[in-house]
Amino acid sequence: MSRISNGWKITINSFKILKANQELIIFPILSGVSIILVMASFLTAIFASAGWHIPDADVTSTPLQYVLLFTFYVVNYFIVVFFNMALIHCTHLYFKGEKASVSAGLKFSLSRIGAIFIWALFAGTIGFILKLIQERSGFIGKIVTGIIGIVWSIATFFAIPVIAYENLGPIDAVKRSSQIMKEKWGESLVSRFSFAFIQLIAIIVVCGVLYFLGSLIHPLIGMLLAVLALFIIIAVMSAAQTIFTSAVYHNVTDEPVAHFDQQLIDGLFQSK
């Protein structure tokens, strides 16, 4: 019960920081819009390579489509890491009592663009390989690759702040992230359940209400309002979770974290 209480408090503190710096929501929005545009361009390329015959548009049926799929993974990782790093740096400035701004975050990510690209290439390769194995394996293989994917996400939990502030290559960044996770993650997943629960409730309530109100005018309007609300909710949750990751990273590296009770973070991320 203590862990659940602490998890909720830390989650709420993440939202408080986002509320105090509302402009930071622009980072996950820019990331989401960029990914949608990139996805649209890649789908166009895949359909074109299949002669615009959509049923034949298997993303792994030709060498060209393999290349397109791999490139998509790398670009996708690059976009996510670029904007998440900008957000993490803004929270870093905020924790230090300095002015956090969108321009400062983007400027910092641009200064680390080489490291971001190398990480995107590394992580994109891992994701691409797992995707191929999953598509070509049976039921057991899909379970195994799914487990590997979960382990990978846990091992790289702190990868972005490590890449941002520690001069490490991709493999060393994974080792460093895993080391921090091993020291502080313990057996608690309370914060993730907290974010997931809040997001689920927000989607059900907000999207449901907006769809109902919009459908009173026209079903299409209701659907558009619900999709827009879903996009905003996901952006807010993504920003809050990135703030949470940044706060915990600063805690484990012994840097002061404003607006967070250090005992709460230590209580949630205990050593085994």
How far apart are the C-alpha atoms of 173 and 187, rounded to whole Å? 22
Question: What is the amino acid identity at position 232?
Answer: I
Q: Mind spelling out the 3-state secondary structure of 150-208?
A: HHHHHHCCCHHHHHHHCCCCHHHHHHHHHHHHHHHCCCCCHHHHHHHHHHHHHHHHHHH
Q: Which residues contact residue 118 at a Cβ distance below 8 angstroms, ignoring those fewer than 6 apart?
A: 169, 170
In 21-112, where does DSSP find H-type helix?
26-49, 63-95, 102-111
DSSP labels, 52-73? T-GGG--TTSSHHHHHHHHHHH
pLDDT of residue 187: 40
| Average pLDDT of the residues in 149-160 | 85
pLDDT at position 5 is 64
Please tell me what DSSP assigns to residue 258: T
pTM above 0.85, yes or no: no
Question: Over the stretch 72-120, which tens digit does the pLDDT of each residue have?
Answer: 889 989 999 999 999 999 988 888 778 888 899 999 999 999 999 999 9
- The predicted model gives 27-48 an average pLDDT of 81
CB within 8 Å of 72: residues ≥ 6 apart: 38, 39, 42
pLDDT of residue 258: 59
Q: How would you class 53 by CB atoms within 10 Å of its CB: exposed for 0-12, middle for 13-18, buried for 19 or more? A: exposed
